[in-house]
């Protein structure tokens, strides 16, 4: 039995190595302009490879309009949902819990007061609600961007499932995770810093089960971690790719993360099932488009690798 388990582990490690040798890039390539829908599907969506696309949304008014003064004038009085945490980590592992942020309702102007340092406040603030919050909470801003990305819509034959607006402090960090979406991430101002891992590196990415909880702000300014009663445990990645604990997770040393900075005016194509960790410059503004992935043979392969990794306890 032990020999069989070791053989499966070798196969999983070889699987990742062969992916890097056969088709993955050592860095994230840049495209100087948007490709045709057919080219994008053939070269990037089908092979499940990321790229940065330049000059893809130069025509958006948002690039020149979305500064604090404009946002205060147009949506300053709008009440939006803001994620607030004590340390900047929302939807992340904290001890033996998977902790979600406090969802605080506040006006957009109040958020800008915090981000611009005009008002002191405990905690780290981040607009990150991923339920098409641009169209649902800030429809006044939709005229400054496109409702979809036409060449992506044509390539996939469907409209995006969600269009999300992001704005936050530099301390706000998105812990490593994956999504079941084809993601076009457009930076309007500032910079986003991504750490990316392909699905083929799943054998080196640790998961554990955690009790779900939420942060709750106390009157004295500190935060409590409050269990979500009656909820099943959540599988999440405990590893911090900025400071990976290789003594605890030695197989992560076999992973080959890609580091990429997406600047204002640039679009990152983040393929479905890629693991990603995200940081940002202070006050960075971005909009992303989530297109549902195809649940095809690639998804089946990933599920098989995921199941085998868990079965042999590679991590």
Residue 129 CA to residue 174 CA, distance in Å, equals 12
Q: What band does 314 get if pLDDT is binned at 50, 70 and 90?
A: low
Residue 30 CA to residue 12 CA, distance in Å, equals 30
Six-digit token string for 46 = 């089908």
| Sequence-ordered strand ranges (E) for the chain | 30-31, 51-54, 79-85, 89-90, 92-94, 97-100, 102-107, 124-127, 162-168, 173-177, 181-189, 191-197, 208-217, 223-227, 234-236, 258-263, 266-270, 275-280, 285-292
State the average pLDDT over residues 68-72. 97
Residue 315: pLDDT above 60? no
State the average pLDDT over residues 308-312. 91
Q: What band does 221 get if pLDDT is binned at 50, 70 and 90?
A: confident
Residue 305: pLDDT above 70? yes
Q: What angle is formed at CA 313 by the lines to CA 12 and CA 194, rounded to 5 degrees?
A: 65
pLDDT of residue 130: 85
pLDDT of residue 220: 85
Six-digit token string for 52 = 């940065």
pLDDT of residue 6: 86
Q: What band does 3 get if pLDDT is binned at 50, 70 and 90?
A: confident
State the average pLDDT over residues 219-243. 93
State the average pLDDT over residues 10-31. 95
Q: What angle is formed at CA 305 by the lines to CA 302 and CA 311, rounded to 5 degrees?
A: 140
pLDDT of residue 286: 98
Q: What angle is formed at CA 105 by the lines to CA 262 and CA 224, rounded to 5 degrees?
A: 90
- Rg over alpha carbons for the chain, rounded to the nearest Å, is 20
State the average pLDDT over residues 222-235. 93
Q: What band does 121 get if pLDDT is binned at 50, 70 and 90?
A: confident
Q: Residues 103, 83: contact at Cβ < 8 Å?
A: yes
Residue 155: pLDDT above 60? yes
State the average pLDDT over residues 254-271. 97
pLDDT of residue 123: 94
Helix (H), strand (E) at residue 305: helix 297-312
Residues 29-64 pLDDT 10s: 999 999 999 999 999 999 999 999 999 999 999 999
Residue 270 CA to residue 192 CA, distance in Å, equals 13
pTM here is: 0.96
Q: What band does 91 get if pLDDT is binned at 50, 70 and 90?
A: very high
Tally of residues, the chain: 315
Residue 2: pLDDT above 80? no
């Amino acid at each position: 039995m032990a020999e069989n388990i070791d053989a499966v582990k070798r196969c999983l490690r070889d699987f990742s190595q062969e992916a890097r040798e056969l088709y993955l890039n050592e860095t994230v390539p840049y495209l100087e302009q948007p490709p045709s829908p057919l080219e994008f599907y053939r070269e990037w969506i089908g092979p499940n490879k990321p790229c940065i696309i330049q000059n893809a949304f130069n025509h958006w008014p948002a690039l020149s309009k979305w500064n604090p003064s404009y946002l205060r004038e147009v949506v300053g009085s709008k009440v939006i949902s803001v994620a607030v945490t004590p340390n900047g980590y929302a939807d992340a592992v904290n001890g033996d819990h998977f902790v979600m942020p406090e969802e605080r309702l506040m006006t957009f102007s109040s958020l800008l007061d915090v981000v611009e340092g005009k008002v002191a406040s405990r905690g780290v603030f981040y607009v990150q609600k991923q339920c098409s919050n641009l169209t649902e909470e800030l429809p006044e801003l939709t005229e400054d961007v496109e409702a979809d990305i036409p060449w992506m819509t044509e390539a996939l034959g469907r409209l995006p499932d969600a269009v999300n607006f992001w704005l936050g402090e530099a301390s706000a960090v998105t812990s490593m995770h994956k999504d079941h979406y084809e993601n076009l991430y457009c930076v309007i101002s500032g910079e986003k810093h991504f750490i990316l891992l392909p699905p083929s590196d799943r054998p080196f990415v640790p998961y554990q089960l955690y009790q779900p909880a939420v942060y709750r702000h106390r009157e004295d300014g500190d935060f409590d971690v409050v269990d979500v009663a009656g909820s099943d445990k959540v599988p999440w990645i405990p590893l911090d790719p900025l400071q990976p604990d290789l003594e605890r997770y030695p197989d992560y040393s076999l992973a080959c993360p890609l580091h990429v900075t997406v600047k204002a005016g640039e679009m990152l194509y983040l393929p479905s099932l890629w693991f990603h960790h995200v940081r940002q410059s202070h006050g960075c503004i971005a909009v992303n488009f989530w297109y549902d992935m195809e649940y095809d043979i690639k998804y089946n392969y990933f599920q098989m690798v995921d199941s085998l990794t868990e079965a042999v306890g590679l991590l």
